[in-house]
Each structure stands twice: as structure tokens, then as C-alpha cells.
Amino acid sequence: MEAVKAHPSNPARAKGEKREKKLLMGNEAIAYGALESGVAFATGYPGTPSTEVIETIARLNPKVFAEWAPNEKVALEEAAGVAYTGLRTLVTMKCVGLNVAADPLMSLAYSGVEGGMVILVADDPGPHTSQTEQDDRYYGKISLLPVLEPADPQEAHDLIKYAYELSEKYKVPVIFRTTTRVNHTTADVEVGEFVELDREPVFKKDIERYVRASMEGNKKRHRWLNETLAKIEEEFNSMPFNRVEGKEDAKIGIIVEGAPYNYVREVIPKLNADFKVLKLSTPHPLPKKLVTDFLKTVDYAIVVEDGAPFLEEEVKIAAYEAGLNVPIYGKRTGHFPLEGELTPSLVRNALLRLLGEEGETYEKPEEVKFAESLAPKRPPVMCPGCPHRGSYRAALDALRDLKLGRYKIPIHGDIGCYALSLLPPLEAIWTEYVMGASISLANGQSVVMNKKIIATIGDSTFFHNGIQPLVDAVYKNLNVLVMILDNRTTAMTGHQPHPGTGGSETGRKFNEIDIEALVKALG
């Protein structure tokens, strides 16, 4: 059956729909929301903090094609192909994954979609498990696509259902930005019934829309995208996930987005002042009328957000264009740090500073300091029985036997558990950069250093982005030694299957790609 239309009071909750409360992680809540929206195809590449979304969909409804792709670019393109046919799709990735998928993202924005398409990008302020703290809201601005961000697991569940309706209404993919605190927080979530849409996949030939070789056609699609974004902004001005809270006559404004909304709610009752809060779930396009109407009612405002000062910049632009002289504070004014994630104490101190009061510094009790001094330090280590231990030991022993020493031949690492080889007792790798870069770095250095360079890369990472640099090494006859550390799983993110395993998240029968045969075929 087709999805039940949402009740106007909340776009996520259909009138008469059966509801049930469950204790869910944010990622699980997102998966429930996607299944309640009738998602037919879900894919991505494993990456903390996004991984559990695909795993949950596969567990709850194996009829949905919920399987991992070799990398995020392939995942986005495959999902786009499905969305062109009118079916609903979901793509998941961690923050840096959108860098890999950025090329098709830009062209997909021009083509648009028929079926609802949501691109979940899990940012990692902190960072907790990522190379960078990049803020993927900027990709929404670059690609001219809408960006939504939830504040907690319940809103993540509800908001992704709205995202599918929004995507189909305006025929554009929607970027769904989350952060680690939302992805991995557990809470009571009210969920509904799973929906299976009664749709036949149909793809209609439309050269101007789907072929980017026409320069005149590209200009027309760009104009269409700009016009569509303006319509979406108008809708965001009145959508129920954006709302004003607090005392109506309060003169201190707080504009907040995402997980920090919970910190604002926690700290303001403890402060001796009245605040008015504009809670936003739509950083792009910014609902300018809603924001400027709010700013007109306050003497000054502070923007509270995780990541870069994206929202602060957008609010300041909107205020300037509306001719408002309301002081606006945030990360750019030093009220919040530009690095790391926000905490309730950081929000409290920023609001105290706004009130002209001293902030508070947390000091550990002496008893805690003493207990910590007694506890032995335990840095992360490779798991017992991990084959990577022996692989790096063999490489180091070979260098010693050749009298090359530990510091004469660079050993490049890659993304995966084996990055822990940088720590004692191995202290093997010199770099750990981005997926597949071990081989590319070795390629470049082998040219200018005139000696053999070693690259080490895991099996899943090799399929993700390691094949092309290996092709280049063979093509250019470069002096590199590539060690593919094949432990037959994507281990670091929870043992997901990849093309070299032949495994499937839902039990489907796939082919196993032989890494050795693949490498031999390169010559």
C-alpha cells in the first residue's frame, strides 16, 4: 500500500497510525523511520557513527535491499539509480564519506529524483572516531540541496519521515545531517508501522534532466534547482520541526540546532534570566523569515550549534540582508570553541558570559585524581589473535634482516584496525591518512626518494579506494611494496561484509571477489 499521508500537526505522525514505544539508539530510530516511510533500497559504507542504520534495516526487514557498497560514491550512485525509478532510497555514511561521494552528489542535485532519497551523513564533532571534524552542512550549500538535522532519537525518527515527503514533493535528494551524540544516544522512541509502497520501478528517458553533457540543459537545471530551493525555504518558515519556545517577552534570544538543543533546555532553568529559544532543524536553506522575525523580538542573540559556525554565519547573513542591527554571538565571537563538541557546561558558561557573569571551571575532586593515578593506562591495542600483528612483525623483521632499520624505509598505513600498529610495541606505520592513501603516498615518494616504499592496506579499504592507486603503481612501474592485510572482514566498524568476503547483510547470495586474482590481473 502507499504510505499514509501525514497529519498536518506533525509531518511524521500519520493520523490513526498505530504507535509503540521502544528503547532505541538514534541510528535504530532512523532505521525505523526509514522503514515506516517505505524505503526499498538502503546502502552505504560502514563508518562510525553511522553504521548501525543499515544493520538495523537489514535485521528488521530483510525484504529491503539493505547492503553495503564498496565505497560511498558507488553507494550514492546506486541509490540515485533506484530513486530515478520512483522508489524510496537511503544512503548512509560518516562525515568524511561525503567527500568520496561529492562528485555524484553535485550532478545528482541537478538531475533530481522521482522517489524520495535521503543521504544520511553522520558528522563527528570531537572528534570521537574520525580523521577530521568537518561539517557536512556546507555540502548542502555547495550542492543547493536541503539539509535537515535532528536533536534527539525521537526527532531523528520523525524527521527522516518528513525528509522522504520533502524529497518527493520537490524531487530533490535530502541531506540528513546527524552528529555522534544523536546517532549513539539511547532513548524512548515512539515508532509506527512499517510500510511497503505499492510502486513499480519506472525510468523514463529525459535527456535534459539526466544527461549532463548539455551545457544549455545544465543551466536550465541549475535555474530549476535555485527555484526549488526557494520554495523549500518558504516551507521551512512554517514547518513544525522549527519552533519558538520560552517566554514571549524575553529579550535574550537563543538560536539552536541539533544535539545542543538538549543542553540549552538543561541549563536555562538554572540561570537567573529569561530566554527565548528558536529551535531549528533546517540549517539549509535557512528559513530567513522565521529567523529575522525572531531576531526582531530580542535585544541580542546567541547561536548554539555543533561543528563549524555554519548556522551562525547564515543567521548573520539573514540579519544583514534584513537590515537588522541585533548583536549575534556564537563561535565567531569566541563564546564557543571552534574545535570539539559542545557540552552543557560550555553552553552554561557561554550564557553566563552573555549575562555578564563569570563562567565556571570544572575541577576533578582530589579523590578522582588519586584514583586515576592508580589506574594503569590502557591505550587501544589490536585484538588477541589479530593477523595484523604478525603481518607488521614480519615486515619489521624483514627490514631488520636487510639491515635497513626501522627509520630508513617509510611504511604507510591506511584506515582500519591496523592503524593501531603506530603504537608500541610495533610502532610500524608512519602515516594514516584517508582510505587508499597508503598506496598513493608510497607511489609519490617512490618517484622522488629513489627507493622502495612500503604501503599497508586492509582488504575492505583496498576495495573502497585502493585499486586505482595500485593500478597507477603497476602502470608507471613504481618501486613500491603493497601489503594487503586480508582478514576477510570490515573489522573496525563491526565485522561487516565486503566484496572480498562474498557476504551479505541480509543473507542474499553474492559472489566473492578474489583479491589475489584481481591483483595478478593487473600484471
| CATH classification of the domain holding 186 | 3.40.50.970
Check: CB of residue 162 under 8 Å from CB of residue 190: no
Cα–Cα dist 498/512, whole Å? 9
Distance CA(69)–CA(116), nearest Å, equals 20
Helices then strands, each counted (H, E), the chain: 19, 18
What confidence category does residue 15 fall into, taking pLDDT thresholds of 50, 70 and 90? low
Task: Indicate if 210 and 129 belong to the same structural domain.
Answer: yes
For residue 484, the surrounding DSSP H or E stretch is strand 480-485
**C-alpha cell belonging to residue 76:** 550514492
Comparing 364 with 215, the larger pLDDT belongs to 215
pLDDT score recorded for residue 2: 43
Conformation bin of residue 24: beta by default, left when phi > 0, alpha when psi is -120 to 50: beta
1 within domain boundaries: no
Query: For position 14, what pLDDT does the model report?
Result: 53
Instruction: State pLDDT tens for residues 329-366.
Output: 999 999 999 999 999 999 999 999 999 998 888 788 99
Amino acid in position 301: A
319 with 292: CB under 8 angstroms? yes
Rg (CA), the chain: 25
Task: Read off the CATH number of the domain in which 320 is found.
Answer: 3.40.50.920
3-class DSSP state of 300: strand
Find the length of the chain: 523
* Nearby residues of 39 by Cβ (< 8 Å), 6 or more positions away: 57, 64, 88, 89, 90, 164
pLDDT value of residue 8: 39
So what's the pLDDT on residue 7? Answer: 38
**Domain termination site, one of 219, 236, 253:** 236
The residue among 272 and 118 whose pLDDT is bigger is 118
Q: Which of 142, 107, 101 is nearest to 119 (CA)?
A: 101
User: For position 3, what pLDDT does the model report?
Assistant: 41
Separation of alpha carbons 476 and 479, rounded Å: 9
Angle made by CA atoms 70, 72, 74, in degrees to the nearest 5? 60
Task: Give residue 13's pLDDT.
Answer: 54
C-alpha cell at 92: 548512509
Mean pLDDT on 394-420: 91
Work out whether the CA dihedral 11, 12, 17, 21 comes out positive or negative.
negative
Q: Would you call 22 helix, strand, or coil by DSSP?
A: strand
User: Strand ranges (DSSP E) for 88-231?
Assistant: 89-94, 117-123, 147-148, 174-179, 186-191
Q: String of b and e for 197-221 (b: at least 16 CB within 10 Å)? A: beeeeeeeeeeebbeeeeeebeeeb
CA angle (251 as vertex; 245, 256 as ends), nearest 5: 45
- List all residues 6 or more positions away from 227 whose beta carbon is below 8 Å from its beta carbon: none
Q: What's the confidence (pLDDT) of residue 5?
A: 43
Q: Tell me: the pLDDT tens digits for 218-264?
A: 999 999 999 999 999 999 999 999 999 999 999 999 999 999 999 99
More confident residue, 2 or 192: 192
Q: Domain end: 236, 263, 291, which one? A: 236
Together in a domain, 55 and 30? yes
> What is the pLDDT averaged over residues 192-209?
96
Predicted confidence (pLDDT) at residue 465 exceeds the cutoff of 80: yes
- Residue 511 sits in the same domain as residue 485: yes
d(CA 225, CA 172): 8
Same domain? For 437 and 327 the reply is no
Q: Helices 97-111 & 72-83, crossing angle to 10 degrees?
A: 20
Burial class (CB in 10 A: 0-12, 13-18, 19+), 477: exposed
Total domain count, the chain: 3
Q: Which helix (H) or strand (E) holds 515?
A: helix 515-521
Q: Which of 150, 172, 188 is nearest to 22 (CA)?
A: 188
- Tell me, yes or no, whether 377 lies in a domain: no
Residue 364 lies in a domain: no
Answer with the one of 236, 256, 283 that is the final residue of a domain.
236
Supply the pTM of this predicted model.
Answer: 0.93
For residue 370, tell me if it sits in a domain.
no
- Are residues 398 and 340 part of one domain? no
Confidence of residue 16 (pLDDT cuts 50, 70, 90): low
Report pLDDT digits (tens) over 295-340: 999 999 999 999 999 999 999 999 999 999 999 999 999 999 999 9
Strands 480-485 and 186-191: unpaired
Mark whether 223 and 261 lie in a shared domain: no
Mark whether 348 and 476 lie in a shared domain: no
Residue 185 carries which DSSP code?
Answer: -
Residue type at 378 in one-letter notation: R
Distance CA 319, CA 296 (A): 9
Would residue 367 count as lying in a domain? no
Give the lowest-confidence range in 156-170, 267-281, 503-517.
503-517
The bridge status of strand 328-329 relative to strand 300-304 is: parallel
Has residue 375 been placed in a domain? Answer: no
User: For strand 186-191 and strand 20-25, is the pairing parallel, antiparallel, or unpaired?
Assistant: antiparallel
The answer to whether 167 and 108 are in contact (CB under 8 A) is no
- Tell me, yes or no, whether 197 and 299 share the same domain: no
Confidence of residue 4 (pLDDT cuts 50, 70, 90): very low
Q: Same structural domain for residues 207 and 256?
A: no
The pLDDT value given to residue 363: 83
The answer on 477 and 331 residing in a single domain is: no
Residue 265 located in a structural domain: yes
pLDDT class for 78, splitting at 50, 70, 90? Answer: very high
Q: Are 314 and 222 found together in one domain?
A: no
Average pLDDT, the chain: 94
Does residue 365 form part of some domain?
A: no
Q: Give the pLDDT of residue 495.
A: 85
| Distance from C-alpha of 101 to C-alpha of 94, rounded to nearest angstrom | 11
Q: Are residues 231 and 251 in the same domain?
A: no
Note down the domain range covering 498: 387-521
> Which residues, in sequence order, are CB contacts of 121 under 8 Å at separation 6+?
50, 93, 94, 95, 97, 98, 136, 139, 175, 176, 177, 178
pLDDT above 70 (res 400): yes
